[in-house]
Amino acid sequence: MRTLTAGEALTILRGLQDVCILIHRSPDGDCIGSGYALHLLLKSFGIRSKVACADTIPAMYAALTDGVEFEEFEPRCFVAVDVADRGLLGTLNEQYPDCEVKLCIDHHISNAGYAEQNYWNPDASAACELMFTLLRDNEIPMTEQIARCLYVGIATDTGCFKFDNAKADTFAAIAEIKRQYPNLPYARLNRELFDLKSRGRLVLDARLMENVQMSADGKVALIYLPYAWMTELGVTKDETDGLANLPMQILGVEVAITVKQQETGEYRVSMRGGDYADVSAICQRFGGGGHVKAGGCSIYDGEPQEVCKMLMDVASAMLNA
């Protein structure tokens, strides 16, 4: 896919009016950070804009949204940030059917190319890293509020700089953000974003780990979450988002399987892979898919024990194949 230069992207942005900034459903730190940063940038140009999302912004991102208010207006154009595919807009597709997206700022290798123009780099760790480059290459100063947005987005998408998508350029971007704004509460933001959990979620984690099932000499681990536990512990669906990483923490685990029973009785399965397992291949056996190190599938019936055993057996067999 062809990408604009930072200069070309800026020229497009400066020519817009009454902009609706689209971010993806189930919003995370990166789409919120890049969306709000873009809003603040457009505002500094005297251009009216608002961020639109199919879902409510989670409270943990209050540091980005507090104090930002959007005017009511009928959008005259659309820009998408961190949205790889129109489907990820969720209900915004009904609110703005077939809207023409003038510009998409994105870092997903899988970007579907639905926008008229793209400022796109699949080597960037986050859409926020692209926003950083856009500003830097155009010599536009970062305000403190924009710096905070970009920090949160980059930190979120790199697992607080833990994943391999945090490359040299990513670290250089954060070095520059911290050089310009040494006193932002980075450690506190990190604690809020990565460490804090509700007591209910912590008790849930505990209970899941006490009941972890293992096979293939400890290389396959499975946790099963009955729907009743969520109600009992008052844990929301949002709160269980990062659960799939839990069994990956066990020393020696190569395939980590998380099975969440839904209210409907359906089982939603997430898998994570370690050094060599291809969990996408395992998920495909159950009609799912994904990436080598992160995949998922759904199973529509069966008793919990059977479903878990079947998943463990297939994963173990494929791991040892």
Per CB under 8 A, residues contacting its own copies are 160-164, 166-172, 174-176, 178-179, 182, 186-188, 190-191, 194-199, 202-203, 205-210, 212, 214, 218, 245, 248-251, 275
* 258-295 exposure pattern, b = at least 16 Cβ within 10 A, e = fewer: bbbbeeeeebbbbbbbeeebbbbbbbeebebebeebbb
- Helix axis angle, 127-137 relative to 29-44, nearest 10°? 30
- Min. distance of Cβ 10 from its own copies in angstroms? 25
> Between vectors from CA 193 to CA 187 and to CA 199, what angle results, nearest 5°?
110
Q: How far is the CB of 312 from its own copies (least distance, A)?
A: 16
Q: How far is the CB of 229 from its own copies (least distance, A)?
A: 13
116 vs 241, which CB is nearer to its own copies?
Answer: 241
Q: Which is nearer to its own copies, 99 or 212 (CB)?
A: 212
Q: Which is nearer to its own copies, 76 or 199 (CB)?
A: 199
Give me the amino acid identity at 199.
Answer: R
| DSSP secondary structure of 75-139 | -SEEEEES--SGGGGTTHHHHSTT--EEEEEE--TT----SSEEEE-TTSS-HHHHHHHHHHHTT
Query: What residues does 117 pair with on adjacent strands?
Result: 103
Between residues 57 and 203, which has the closer beta carbon with respect to its own copies? 203
- Residue placing its CB nearer to its own copies in the complex, 186 or 227: 186
* Torsion angle in degrees (nearest 10) through CA of 119, 122, 123, 126: 70
Task: Kindly state the smallest distance separating residue 187's Cβ from its own copies, in Å.
Answer: 4
Phi and psi, residue 45, nearest 5°: -90, 0
Q: How far is the CB of 168 from its own copies (least distance, A)?
A: 4
> In terms of CB distance, is 190 or 262 closer to its own copies?
190
To its own copies, the closest distance from the beta carbon of 74 in angstroms equals 39
